[in-house]
Structure 1
Amino acid sequence: MNARFALFGEVLITGVAVAAASLGVVTALPAAVAGAGHLRRHVDGEGGGLSTAAADFRTAFRRLPAASVGLPVLAALLAWNLTAGRQAGTPAFVACLIVAALAAITVVRLAASWTPDDPSPVRTAIHHTVTDPAGSALLAGALLGTVAVGWMLLPLIIIAPGLLLLASLAVHRRLTDPGPSPSNTATRSRVRGS
């Protein structure tokens, strides 16, 4: 099977699973964490199926109780803020959209970067959002693309979590794996040339 097609399938399955597990509202963040962990293991070629994802879900639910409850509250406040901003005029609405986008970017960064041993994962996600503007811009593009796809064909919104988590993993990997250094690239070029 083609590796790209397999990844596409995992993203679709993960999106549906995360959407279904998020129906409990306070389970949305642990579901996203488990989905990101599943996609990370798939990309890295590690094993782990439903039981591993379920263990990730339970661990995240235990370790992130305040954030799990706070996420739906934050979403409700942002929805109310967007409604109020729309009534206040275009500049206020744009400002509210930017705040909502930054909150969504921080949440998907939290899902991608979460580890059980991080003492303050929310602070880490906020730090990455602020100190990596290029990565935040990439995730803003992913959010915009996901909203556009959902707007054009509403049933596709069910796979949106998988798409956003894959984008967040790519951005996070960009931060943690800086790639080959120039000296390593030069060494590889010399080895190939000889």
Structure 2
Amino acid sequence: MRRFALFGECLMAGLLVLLAALPVVTLVPALAAGCAHIKAHVDGETTSVRSFFGRVRAASPGGWVVSVGVVAGFAVLVVDVVFLRTRVVGGGYVAAVCSVAGVGLAVVVLRAAASWSPGASWPSVMREGARRAARDFAGSLLLVMSLAVLLVVTWQHPPLLLPMVGCVLMSAVAVDRRNRTFAENPISR
């Protein structure tokens, strides 16, 4: 029964994150609040809709600047991929590099969102997310696979976007906790 409750929280977190991220400038705070929502459920804390939006408000100071930067970065990469692939000889190789850079940016953002805590400054959280993405390659690869599953499943069945976003958030939290466990107990490696 507890596993089904976790799936229900993933569904709820996916819905709430998509709603909170609609203004675009709240993308990163919404992801951070979604990860905090999943963490709270796993830890047995409050996971109400009100507490979720309280977490979004707590993550918002400075988060809108990071959100604009992330969205601008993705927009530049998408435009590069579209134009280079079709209009430049050999542009397919550069488009592939841009695609890998986009996946890397998504992994860093997920790592940062999972490690965010109330009161943390977003520039330091993003730097730490980038460090963790580079240091823990296996965890980053797990996040890449979760993003790939998100893309394939929602491409085949678009209504499954809600639970899949929640599952990606859950995987970001799991990778973050895995990383912290390894940092605290290096013998278990």
- TM-score after normalising by structure 1: 0.86
Distance 1:71 1:159 in 2: 23
Gaps of 5+ in 2: none
Indicate how the Cα distance of structure 1 residues 73 and 3 shifts in structure 2: closer, same or farther if over 3 A, else same: same
Structure 1 moving runs of 4+ over 3 Å: 179-184
RMSD of aligned alpha carbons: 2.1
Give 1:146 deviation, angstroms. 0.6
Render the CA deviation track for 1:56-85: whole Å, top value 9, x for unaligned.
Answer: 101111142320222221221121122134
Moved more, 61-70 or 168-177: 61-70
Distance 1:155 1:52 in 2: 26
Gaps of 5+ in 1: 185-194
Distance 1:146 1:48 in 2: 23
Counterpart AA for 2:182: P
- TM-score after normalising by structure 2: 0.88
Aligned partner of 2:96 in structure 1 is: 94
Superposition pairs of residues 114-193 of structure 1, within 5 angstroms: 114-119=116-121, 120-178=124-182
Give 1:48 deviation, angstroms. 3.8
In our comparison, the structure showing a higher alpha carbon Rg is 1
Q: Among the aligned pairs, what percent are the same residue?
A: 34
Distance 2:107 2:133 in 1: 7
Give 1:161 deviation, angstroms. 2.2
Counterpart AA for 1:163: C
Give 1:95 deviation, angstroms. 1.1
Distance 2:186 2:172 in 1: 26
Give 1:154 deviation, angstroms. 1.7
Counterpart AA for 1:84: F
